[in-house]
Amino acid sequence: MEKTKIYGHRGSMGDFPENTLLSFQQAIEQGVEGLELDVHMTKDLEIVVIHDEMLDRTTDGTGYVKDLSLDDIKGFSAGVKFSHFRNYEESLWRLESVPTLKEVLELIWPYDIELNIELKTNIIPYEGIEEKVLSLVKKYGNDRKVIYSSFHLPTLIRIKRIDSSANIAWLLDQQITLAQDYIHSLELEGLHLSKDIVLMDNCNLKEISKNIRVWTVNDSKEINQLLDFGVNAIMTNFPEKALLIRNERK
């Protein structure tokens, strides 16, 4: 039986500043099989890795990503807002900036890991973001497995239209019936489901367990339940913990 993969959610965001090169490097060193990250597009059409539409929560900057240039965004720290973390080192973390997707792809180039790129297009429709993301992955992805996910189905359909071989996964935080039908009719590589959906409805999802990646799972008991269920991957803020739990199981 194929083992369930562990993905670092925004890197190792339970202990390091989310969606930064530092966080991704830590997750890789901890032994993850995959990384999950989020992308938006700047005013000058650069693809940056950040979760929110705005800078305010995760950086010392302010404003919408879409209204700022890459140079503007690079002027802010993506680390200082996390000074309450136990590993905080001001001199090091202050230097962390919002990375571009290209920078992340260059960081992970030598490593044999999968990558889940979530396109955050369900609030702001970044025109042309699909082409730009696919182009960057083609150039810098080193032929790794990349899964493109989104809550916004039209984004996934556009990706498939541009590249019929692309792996697309629909992000869901609510139950759907006849999930298998969605996978076949929309040519989905997988479904990325919130943990509550899977833990609540695993009987109806058993036949597609290998198509399911689950977010965001930090509790030891829930990690074990999902390992028992045999999902494709678990996305967690604490990859080191999840890897330890999985690797200690007989």
Q: Which sequence positions are flagged as catalytic?
A: 9, 51
Distance CA 46, CA 129 (A): 9
3-class DSSP assignment, residue 31 = coil
Distance CA 201, CA 71 (A): 46
| DSSP letter assigned to residue 4 | P
Distance CA 231, CA 198 (A): 9
Under 8 Å between Cβ of 55 and 78: no
**Burial class (CB within 10 angstroms; exposed 0-12, middle 13-18, buried 19+) of 114:** buried
Please state, in angstroms and as integers, the Cα–Cα distance from residue 4 to each residue in 1, 11, 23, 48, 115, following that order.
9, 18, 22, 29, 15
Please state, in angstroms and as integers, the Cα–Cα distance from residue 118 to each residue in 11, 35, 80, 114, 237, following that order.
13, 11, 24, 13, 16
